[in-house]
């Protein structure tokens, strides 16, 4: 049962009503977060609770980080002749396309870009059963220097799945990893070769990379539940 500080909200989901409990803190957190109205936070739902949000990268910071990553990719691979960029769906795909354009501006060669869905290779696939989307890869990967691109590096499990998928499709000369943001909390021994920004986070926080191609703006924000809120797993009343 929820505590006395919890407030019950009726929401409609999947054609039926369910009761969701959100525990509100008695004191405001001291950290500098901004309150976001639930209508604005609909893209990132927190079960009806008001989201406390802070922005860690704006559009200019994202652009500069990607330009730096593009230069580092070219330097490490001694050019772009044998380079291919593969974006991990969903948000790694537009980032890979941006990096390819930037590499072309540096070297005069646009590396091929692929899109990879790792759903079938996830270690939780038997229980999650996520939607499987088509992957588009730039031909034979054997002998190429592959740069996997993703927006946020967290536990490392998605990247591990991506590496397994790549190895099933060819034998590249190398596999490297570029991420816009590294938030820590690794669960497997994965490390990014190119990082836009390192941001320490709590596991309870949710990190979102907003992209112009998908969201109409570029920014990286961190959402935090109100202090004392119940975890998402504990918020649903089975009754």
- The bridge status of strand 174-182 relative to strand 194-198 is parallel
Which pLDDT band holds residue 226 (cuts at 50, 70, 90)?
Answer: low
Please state whether beta strands 219-224 and 206-210 pair in parallel, antiparallel, or not at all (unpaired). Answer: antiparallel
Residue 94, both tokens: 């537009």
Q: What percent of the chain has pLDDT over 90?
A: 61
pTM: 0.74
User: 18 pLDDT exceeds 50?
Assistant: no
Q: Would you say 214 and 97 are in contact if contact means Cβ atoms under 8 Å apart? A: no
pLDDT tens track for 76-129 = 999 999 999 999 999 999 999 999 999 999 999 999 999 999 988 887 766 666
CATH 3.40.50.2020 residue window(s) in the chain:
59-217
Q: Measured on CA atoms in the order 136, 73, 192, 83, is the torsion positive or negative?
A: positive
* CATH classification (class only), 59-217: alpha beta
């Amino acid at each position: 049962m929820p505590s006395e500080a919890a407030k019950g909200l009726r929401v409609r989901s999947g054609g039926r009503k369910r009761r969701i409990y959100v525990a509100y803190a008695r004191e405001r957190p001291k950290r500098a977060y901004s309150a976001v109205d639930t209508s604005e936070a609909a893209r990132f739902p927190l079960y009806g609770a008001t989201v406390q949000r802070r922005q860690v990268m704006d559009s200019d910071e994202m652009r500069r980080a990607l330009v730096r990553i593009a230069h580092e990719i070219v330097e490490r691979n001694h050019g772009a002749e044998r380079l291919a960029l593969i974006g991990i769906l969903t948000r790694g795909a537009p980032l890979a396309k941006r990096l390819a354009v930037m590499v072309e501006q540096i070297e005069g060669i646009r590396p091929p870009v692929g899109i990879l869905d790792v759903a079938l290779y996830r270690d939780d696939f038997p229980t999650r059963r996520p939607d499987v989307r088509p992957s588009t890869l730039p031909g034979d990967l054997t002998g190429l220097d592959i740069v996997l691109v993703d927006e946020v590096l967290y536990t490392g499990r998605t990247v591990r799945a991506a590496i397994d998928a790549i190895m099933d499709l060819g034998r590249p000369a190398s596999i490297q990893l570029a991420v816009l943001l590294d938030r820590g909390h690794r669960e497997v021994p994965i490390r990014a070769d190119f990082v836009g920004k390192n941001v320490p986070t709590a596991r309870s926080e949710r990190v979102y990379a907003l992209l112009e191609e998908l969201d109409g703006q570029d920014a990286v924000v961190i959402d935090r539940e109100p202090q004392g809120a119940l975890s998402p797993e504990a918020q649903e009343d089975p009754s």
